Structure 1
Amino acid sequence: MVNIRSLDPSASPLDYYGYELRRLREEAGLKQDQLGSILFCTGSLVGQIETAKKVPTRPFSERLDAALMTDGHFSRLVGLVLKSQLPTWFQPYAEMEAKATYISTYQSQLVYGLLQTKEYAYALLSFDKPDTADEMVAARMERQRILEREHPPVLCVVLDEAVLYREIGGPDVMREQLAHLLTFRDHPWIHVQVLPFSAGQHAGLLGSFNLLRFEDDPDILYTESYDSGHMTANSQVIRERAVGYARLQAAALSREDSAALIARVMEERYGHQPGPEVA
Structure 2
Amino acid sequence: MVNIRNLDPSASPLDYYGSELRRLREEAKLNQQQLGDVLFCTASLVGQIETAKKVPTRQFSERLDAALLTGGHFSRLAGLVLRSQLPTWFQPYAEMEARATYISTYQAQLVYGLLQTEDYARAVLATGLPDGLDELVAARMDRQRIVSGANPPLIWAILDEAALYRSVGGRAVMRNQLAYLLGFRRHRRVCVQVLPFEAGEHASLICSFNWLRFHDDPDVVYTEDVISGHTTANPDTVKEAALRYAHLQAAALSVEDSAELILRVMEERYGDQRAVA
TM-score band, normalised by shorter chain:
over 0.9
- Deviation sequence 1:160-219 (CA, Å, 0-9, x none): 000000001111100110000001113211110000000000011011000000111111
Match of 2:259, SS? helix
Aligned to 2:96: 96
1:133 corresponding residue in structure 2:
133
Moved more, 77-86 or 181-190: 181-190
What residue in structure 1 maps to residue 231 of structure 2? 231
User: How does 1:1-80 map onto structure 2 within 5 Å?
Assistant: 1-80=1-80
Q: Using structure 2 for the length normalisation, give the TM-score.
A: 0.96
Matched letter for residue 226 of structure 1: V
Q: 1:272 Cα shift?
A: 5.4
Could you tell me how far apart the structure 2 residues matched to 1:202 and 1:188 are?
Answer: 28
Q: Residue type of the partner of 2:232?
A: T
- Residue 130 of structure 1: how far off its partner (Å): 5.2
User: 1 CA distance for matches of 2:201 and 2:125?
Assistant: 30
The normalised TM-score by structure 1 is 0.95
Contact 1:126 1:132 (C-alpha < 8 Å) held by counterparts:
no
Equivalent position amino acid for 2:225 in 1: S
Partner of 2:190: 190
Supply the AA of the counterpart residue of 2:103. I
Unaligned segments of structure 2, at least 5 residues: none
Aligned equivalents of 2:61 and 2:126: distance in 1?
24
Cα 1:246–1:98, aligned 2, differ >3 Å: closer, same or farther? Answer: same
For residues 185 and 93 of structure 2, what CA distance do their matches in structure 1 show? 27
For the residues of structure 2 that align with 1:272 and 1:251, how far apart are their CA atoms? 28
1:215-244 deviation line (CA, Å, top 9, x unaligned) = 111110100111111111111111111010
SS of the equivalent of 1:7 reads coil
Say if 2:266 and 2:272, in contact at 8 Å, map to a contact too: no
Deviations 1:244-266 (A, max 9, x none): 00000010000000000001101
SS of the counterpart of 2:20? Answer: helix
- The corresponding residue for 1:259 is 259
**Structure-to-structure mapping, 1:85-164, within 5 angstroms:** 85-129=85-129, 131-164=131-164
CA change 1:237–1:130 in 2 (3 A) is: closer
Percentage of matched positions with identical amino acids: 72
Q: Deviations over 1:126-181 (max 9, x none)?
A: 23335311100100011111112221111000000000000011111001100000
Deviations 1:62-112 (A, max 9, x none): 111111121211111000000000000111110111111110000001111
Q: Which amino acid aligns with 1:116?
A: Q
2: distance between equivalents of 1:131 and 1:37?
A: 30
Look up the match of 1:247.
Answer: 247
Q: For the Cα contact (< 8 Å) 2:25–2:31, is it kept in 1?
A: yes
The CA distance in 1 between the partners of 2:272 and 2:111, in whole Å, is 22
**What are structure 1's unaligned runs of at least 5 residues?**
274-279
